[in-house]
Amino acid sequence: MPADPSPRPFFDPATALPPTGRPAAGLLAELDALRAADAPTRGGRTFAYVYDPGRPEVDDLAAAAYRAFATVNGLDPTVFPSVARLENDVVGAVASVLGAPGAQGTFTSGGTESILLAVKTARDQARAERGVRQPELVLPSTAHAAFHKAAHYLGVEPVVVPVDPVTYRAVASDLTAAITDRTVLVVASAPSYAHGVLDPVAEIAAGAAERGVLCHVDACIGGWFLPFLARAGRPVEPFGLSVPGVTSLSVDLHKYGYADKGASVVLYRDAELRRHQYFAHAGWPGYPVVNPTAQGTKPGGLLAQAWAVLRHLGEDGYTELTRRVAGAADEVLAGLRATEGVRVLGEPAGSLVAFTVTDAGDAPDLSLVLHTADEMRARGWYLQPQLSHAGLPPNLHLTLTPATAGQVGALLTDLADAIEAARALAPATVDPALRELAAALDPDALTPEEVAGFLAFAGLAGDGAQGLPARMAPVLALLDVLPPRLKERLLAEFVGSLFRV
């Protein structure tokens, strides 16, 4: 036998490239089968991650529009002028709702990329205009983790300001007081993801403007919901670029825009500011590079599907869908507030609700929160557990969508049941000795064996997803007491173990 011409350093028949190609039908069937173990993305029982308008024709349109542009490369609008036209239409539609005269923006792959770009823009603007060399980012403790990621990637120091412990809203005067000569950007959320409450955007932006600092409004989740809530006749505090002092804004079209995943817009006050976002490079022998975003080659399909969905639904369509969500939110809030041992956190601005479950003394009870999540999962619902943070209580998070509107009655009935079941269970507790041990560990100096040992103890060892425990309460209870850096290290190792190649 001739020697293999390409020796393979790694070969696992389960994942290796098949030696001969397989027919399409079998592959598509395998993809379908894989979805069986996933949380359902349609039908209104998954209260996080997915946004179901409850209108199947929107899904069909998005898929068809993607397909029409699937082979188009958004990298070069001079070769594919359709891309510039579609992006102008999408950003223009966003600007018509959230912008101000002169606003300019960019279509991106998601909220994280929009935020990354807004922070980069602010960092580079402050360097160019104010000579800031050691940039700082002032943000409320409830700002999305994507700002910490941006700060980490971009060499910017996050300055975290606690929120009001009763309303969960950022405190404008505290944010303003945290501004220094190095501050490149101040952040407000409209609303925050964790508790769904709207920060006092006008006050925060005014404080930043007074100090000559830029202000970003993270409207990733609320930007395509709150304006239509106002249009449906409900009171909504203004938060867009027309608010004095707001200089940039992010809005995800793959959330309440009901586009498929991979669609967001970052919008700036004017061209002068957006200029700092662009990267250009002519110092290599290849084609001259101009990249408005983090990507080089860009999928034309994502832009096309977002364009089609926006224009298919239009103002009236979004207003109607928003009305349905607002109705569901009213019903959920009334139901939760009437449920013994449940406390809604803050005053939700519209579509996100966080609630905690309390013990006999009316204090938030981590174990009850986590057991309730497990009990709900066993009943076919996904509610998102959020751990305690800096004095803010652990809770369960609900993202309401039009599809969930028809499920509220069933949800509340099962929730009451689940809480009762949770109260009957032995509390998920953490051995104090383990807690002490964890506090003494240096997360960055752990050996691979120590990490593996800890994960095994936490119930997170084994063969990736197959090894996930059915009940997450014991795992999450342990995570809740670990110091943040240790938690980050262990979770990163755990997720790494899921991607085992």
Ligand X SMILES: *Cc1c(COP(=O)(O)O)cnc(C)c1O
Contact status: 197 vs ligand X (CB under 6 A): no
**Between residues 125 and 189, which has the closer beta carbon with respect to ligand X?**
189
Q: Mark the segment that binds ligand X (CB under 6 A) among 16-24, 216-224, 237-245, 493-501.
A: 216-224
Q: Which two tokens stand for residue 112?
A: 């994280």
Q: How many residues bind ligand X (CB under 6 A)?
A: 13
> DSSP labels for 125-160?
HHHHHH--SS-EEEEETTS-HHHHHHHHHHT-EEEE
**Contact by Cβ (8 Å): 202, 238:** yes
Q: Report residue 427 as tokens.
A: 């509390």
Residue 378 host element (H or E)? helix 366-378
Q: Is 220 in the site for ligand X (CB under 6 A)?
A: yes
Count of beta carbons in the 10 Å neighbourhood of residue 233? 9
Amino acid at 439: A
3-state secondary structure of 274: helix
d(CA 87, CA 108): 10
Q: Which residue lies nearer to ligand X by CB, 189 or 247?
A: 189
Residue selected from 93, 137, 146, 163 as contacting ligand X according to rule CB under 6 A:
146
- Smallest gap from Cβ 33 to ligand X, in A, equals 27
State which H helix or E strand residue 386 sits in: strand 384-386
Does 112 help bind ligand X (rule: CB under 6 A)?
Answer: yes
The 173-192 contact track toward ligand X, x by CB under 6 A, reads ----------------x---
Can you tell me which of 50, 116, 217, 221 binds ligand X, judged by CB under 6 A? 221
Mark residues 56-95: x for contact with ligand X by CB under 6 A, - for none: ----------------------------------------
Instruction: Work out how close the CB of 294 gets to ligand X at its nearest, in angstroms, rounded to a whole number.
Output: 12
Which CB, 252 or 414, lies closer to ligand X?
252
Residue 218 in contact with ligand X, rule: CB under 6 A: yes
- Which helix (H) or strand (E) segment holds residue 215: the answer is strand 214-218
Closest CA to 94 of 408, 318, 376: 318
Torsion angle (degrees, nearest 10) of CA 26, 30, 33, 37: 180
Q: What is the separation of C-alpha 399 from the centre of its chain, rounded to a whole number of angstroms?
A: 11
Q: Does 144 bind ligand X (CB under 6 A)?
A: yes
Stretch that binds ligand X, among 104-112, 175-183, 223-231, 369-377 (CB under 6 A): 104-112
Return the number of the residue (160 or 290) whose C-beta is nearest ligand X. 160
- Rounded CA separation 343/355 (Å): 5
CB of 239 to ligand X, least distance (A): 12
- Residue 398 beta carbon to ligand X: minimum distance, rounded to whole angstroms: 13
- CA distance readout (Å), 235 to 117, 242, 360, 461: 31, 17, 36, 49
Residue 200 beta carbon to ligand X: minimum distance, rounded to whole angstroms: 16
- Smallest separation, CB 148 to ligand X (Å): 11
Residues that bind ligand X (CB under 6 A): 110-112, 115, 144, 146, 189, 193, 218, 220-221, 252, 264
